[in-house]
């Protein structure tokens, strides 16, 4: 993926993915969230692998991927053909179910 394509995706989903810092921790940036999700989708890395690669807690990793996938589907639905978007939505919902049940 080229840097310009990455920036396009950041600009597309950035508003929805932006989180605020708290007194206890610094928020995970939109860039890190997108990079983590793209790495997961491209390579199928495990949450354990992503946890160490990005230095993010495993529970956060398992929730970030479905959140970013949902935002990508919402914003890119005009660019994606019907069958592909259906598969992507099903995959995203399975990941969200895992996140909510803390299976990982």
Domain definitions of the chain by residue range:
3-101
Give the DSSP H or E segment for 94. helix 82-101
Q: DSSP label at 69?
A: H
- Express each pLDDT in 6-50 by its tens digit: 898 899 888 888 888 888 888 889 999 999 998 888 888 888 888
- Residue bearing the bigger pLDDT, 76 or 89: 76
Cα 26 from chain centroid (whole Å): 18
Neighbours of 61 (CB within 10 A): 25
Measured CA distances, 103 to 1, 28, 99 (Å): 31, 22, 7
Cβ–Cβ under 8 Å, residues 68 and 13: yes
Q: What is the spatial distance between Cα 92 and Cα 69, in angstroms, rounded to a whole number?
A: 6
* Global confidence as pTM: 0.73
Tokens of 56: 């993010």
- pLDDT for res 78: 74
Torsional class of 85: left (φ above 0), alpha (ψ -120 to 50), beta (otherwise): alpha
- pLDDT for res 93: 61
């Amino acid at each position: 993926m080229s840097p310009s394509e990455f920036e396009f995706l950041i600009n597309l989903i950035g508003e929805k993915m932006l989180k605020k810092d708290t007194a206890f921790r610094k928020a995970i940036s939109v860039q890190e969230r997108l990079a983590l999700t793209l790495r997961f989708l491209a390579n199928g890395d495990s949450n354990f692998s992503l946890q160490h690669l990005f230095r993010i807690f495993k529970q956060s990793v398992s929730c970030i991927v479905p959140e970013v996938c949902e935002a990508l589907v919402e914003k890119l639905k005009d660019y994606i053909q019907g069958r592909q978007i259906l598969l992507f939505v099903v995959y995203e919902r399975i990941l969200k179910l895992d996140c909510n049940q803390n299976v990982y």
